[in-house]
Amino acid sequence: MGFNNDRKFYNIINGEKRSAEKTHRVTDPRTEELLWEVPVATTQELDEAVAAATKAFQSWRWTSISERQAVLDKIVQVIEENAAELADIARKETGKSLLMGQIEIGNTTRQIKVIASQAPQDHVQHEDSEVKILATHQPLGVVAAICPWNFPVILSTIKIASALITGNCVIIKPSPFTPYAVLKLVELCQAVVPPGVFQGLNGGADLGAFMTTHEKIAKVSFTGTAATGKKIMAACAPTLKRLTLELAGNDAAIVCPDVDLAQAVEQTATGSFFNAGQMCVATKRVYVHEDIYDAFLCKFKAEVKEKYRIVDDGDVPSVFGPVSNKLQFDTVERMLADAKERGLEMESFEQSVPEKGYWIPATIVSDAPEDALVVKEEQFGPIIPILRWRDEKEVLARVNLDNAGLGAAVYSRDIAYAENIARKIEAGSVYINKFEIPNENAFFSGFKSSGLGGELGKQGLLSYCYTQSIHISKVSPY
Ligand code: NAD
């Protein structure tokens, strides 16, 4: 599985492709080959991009919603026309299979269409005999979008489409672990977007930090770890930037004793091992009622053994894959070492792992204590603890950790009971009888340490706007 060596990648500033003196190359997580060279943007280039965006904003902000929708339609077209190339690039940099690359690009276009259809419209907030009060939504200005590596394209296009449809200009900074597909997308879109409206710069924490302090950037939309989110919030304070933080979660699934075992096992296993657990709302702890614990565990092991095996050849369809980078690989290894040291019962079903690549076999840890790393921290990798619960109050206390505010799932035949439990879970999205996955029609946000504000759905788009109230007197002499 070689890679197309001829591809070139650029930072995109004011509609132009820019190379740079400083470049880096990402390691393919499947093969450990070095991928393409990619330019690293300087702070001077960030200034140039911000200046171009500020200028472009003066006209882009006054375009109508339908004009912006037309541009987003063209972006969708560009992605569809280049889907094969984008999927191939995304799978190489993340280590995903081709199938997963295709899923990501396919979901991206669907998501942009939904976001484009949900632009906030003016509405009457109040009217009586004396006054009519309108709500109108105005763009903020230049938005910096700072993104993670696990689903580089789709997580970027949430921010891109949300910023553009609300009349903002956007500068996207992908993760330095996965810069390629996003920069290629920005490059391809220059044919359909006015210069300065949509730009892309590659860089690491230092470039991100400059974005958060830049005086002419109005908003930062960030997706990543809670530790970085806290730094960003502090850095944004002096310039009072608008801020959205989509952070980590330690999502729990509660499995009630009345479930259809086969369905609950299938869904919790998908939640745990889809993309090898590298999903913000992946199932990260499974709490199974003690009455069915042994039967569940047995079936869960059989499911994982059958469906979540290492498939070395990325052309073979699989939703499981390697850990996407060495840094994350080491984090998951530390959790495994902690579990081993504690003598916890662990099971994986691989006889051997490929010599090359950041592979960790799907691993099930049973009856782990709450203070084991694999329970108390987000794994973001293919290792899942299966825990026992007895009564509702006790399980909710264990589920509602401070770092578990993003997602959760409840499995029960009794939907009213499951919904009641869902309301007691302190997380932004709770899924009943299905594994956790964002839906672009629904607001997506983290409670507590899992975020600040949110994205998607009509509510998410409001975080890209100032809402202005216009009070029109009906009793004035005019
Ligand atoms: P990260 O916090 O290490 O990096 C994210 C981005 O922030 C990168 O682009 C990085 O270069 C940049 N960055 C790092 N330090 C910065 C600083 N001081 N100032 C500005 N930018 C800085 O996160 P990651 O490892 O790339 O992503 C994985 C994490 O993201 C996981 O914890 C996962 O749960 C979370 N995540 C959350 C969601 C969500 O929607 N809530 C979605 C996907 C991933």
| 3-state SS record for 112-154 | HHHHHHCCCCCEEEEECCCEEEEEEEEECCEEEEECCCCCHHH
HSE-CB for 217 with a 13 A CA cutoff: 28
Does residue 467 carry a pLDDT above 90?
A: yes
453 lines ligand 1 (CB under 6 A): no
280 has catalytic annotation: yes
153 lines ligand 1 (CB under 6 A): no
* 436 C-beta closer than 6 A to ligand 1: no
**Tens digit of each residue's pLDDT (9 = 90 or more) over 354-371:** 999 999 999 999 999 999
Three-state secondary structure call for residue 471: strand
Please state the atom number of ligand 1 nearest to the C-alpha of residue 446.
Answer: 41
- Phi and psi, residue 74, nearest 5°: -65, -35
Phi-psi region of 15 (alpha: psi -120 to 50; beta: other; left: phi over 0): left
Q: Which two tokens stand for residue 36?
A: 């393409």
What are the sequence ranges of the domains in the chain?
Answer: 11-247+450-468, 252-440
Q: Which atom belonging to ligand 1 lies closest to the Cα atom of 177? A: 26
Q: Which two tokens stand for residue 230?
A: 């806290």
For residue 406 and ligand 1, the question of a CB distance below 6 A is answered with yes
Question: Residue 428 Cα, ligand 1 centroid: separation in angstroms?
Answer: 18
What is the CATH class of 11-247+450-468? alpha beta
Average pLDDT over residues 276-303: 98
Distance 133 CA to ligand 1 centre (A): 40
Mutation pick for ligand 1 pocket among 183, 228, 230, 279 (CB with most ligand atoms within 8 Å): 228
- Cα 244 to ligand 1 centre (Å): 12
Question: Which pLDDT tens digit goes with each residue over 195-217?
Answer: 999 999 999 999 999 999 999 99
Does 282 contact ligand 1 (Cβ within 6 A)? Answer: no
What residues contact residue 393 under an 8 Å CB cut-off, 6+ apart? none
The residue whose CA has the least distance to atom 9 of ligand 1 is: 175
Crossing angle of helices 98-117 and 83-94, rounded to 10°: 120
Cα–Cα dist 321/310, whole Å = 7
> Cα(354)–Cα(364) distance, rounded to whole angstroms?
20
CB of 204 closer than 6 angstroms to any ligand 1 atom: yes
CA-to-CA distance for 219 and 68, rounded, in angstroms? 19
The pTM of the full predicted model, rounded to 2 decimals, is 0.96
CATH H-level superfamily of 252-440 = Aldehyde Dehydrogenase; Chain A, domain 2 (3.40.309.10)
State residue 2's pLDDT score: 59
Query: What does the alpha-carbon distance between residue 222 and residue 90 come to, in Å, rounded to a whole number?
Result: 20
Query: 333 catalytic, yes or no?
Result: no
- How many separate helices (H) and strands (E) can be counted in the chain? 15, 22
CA of 298 to the centre of ligand 1 (A): 35
Which of the four pLDDT bands, split at 50, 70 and 90, describes residue 16? very high
List the alpha helices (DSSP H) in 308-379: 326-341, 373-376
Quote the percentage of the chain above a pLDDT of 90.
97
- The rounded Å distance from CA 223 to ligand 1 centre is 5
DSSP classification of residue 212: H
| Binding site membership of 327 for ligand 1 (Cβ less than 6 Å) | no
Taking phi first (over 0 means left), then psi (-120 to 50 degrees means alpha), and beta for anything else, what does residue 276 get?
left
pLDDT band of residue 3 (cuts 50, 70, 90) is low
Contacts within 8 Å (CB) and 24+ apart, 346-352: 347/301, 349/301, 349/304, 349/305, 349/309, 350/309, 350/310
The percentage of the chain sitting over the pLDDT mark of 70, rounded to a whole number, equals 99
What Rg, from alpha-carbon coordinates, does the chain have? 23
How many A from CA of 224 to the centre of ligand 1? 2
Task: Please tell me the distance between residue 237's alpha carbon and the centre of ligand 1 in angstroms.
Answer: 19
Q: What is the pLDDT of residues 305-346, one digit of tens each?
A: 999 999 999 999 999 999 999 999 999 999 999 999 999 999
pLDDT, one tens digit per residue, over 35-73 is 999 999 999 999 999 999 999 999 999 999 999 999 999
Q: Report the nearest-CA residue for atom 12 of ligand 1.
A: 205
pLDDT tens per residue, range 139-163:
999 999 999 999 999 999 999 999 9
Marked catalytic residue, from 246, 378, 436, 455: 246
What's the mean pLDDT when you consider all of the chain? 97
181 CB-near residues (< 8 Å, 6+ apart): 86, 89, 90, 93, 152, 153
C-alpha to C-alpha distance for 90 and 181, rounded to whole angstroms: 5
Question: Ligand 1 pocket: which of 46, 225, 437 to mutate (most atoms <8 Å of CB)?
Answer: 225
Query: Which residue CA neighbors atom 39 of ligand 1 most closely?
Result: 246
CB 35 within 8 A of CB 86: no
Task: Return the structure tokens found at 173.
Answer: 């900074």
Ligand 1 contact, 225 CB (< 6 A): yes
Q: Would you say residue 396 has pLDDT above 70? A: yes
Give per-residue pLDDT as tens, 415-452.
999 999 999 999 999 999 999 999 999 999 999 999 99
Q: Between 61 and 477, where is the model more confident?
A: 61
Report the candidate in 156, 144, 139 with the shortest Cα–Cα distance to residue 57.
139
- 229 Cβ inside 6 Å of ligand 1: no
286, containing H or E segment: strand 285-289
Q: Is 205 in the pocket of ligand 1 (CB under 6 A)?
A: yes
> Catalytic pick from 280, 440, 455, 465?
280
- Asked whether 270 lines ligand 1 (CB < 6 A), one says no
pLDDT band at 109 (very low <50, low <70, confident <90, very high): very high
Q: How far is the CA of 220 from the centre of ligand 1 (A)?
A: 13
- Contact 405 CB / ligand 1 (< 6 Å): no
CB distance 359 to ligand 1 below 6 Å: no
121: amino acid identity, one letter: Q
Instruction: Choose among 12, 412, 331, 68: nearest CA to 188.
Output: 12
What DSSP designation does 248 have?
Answer: -
Beta bridge partners of 126: 133
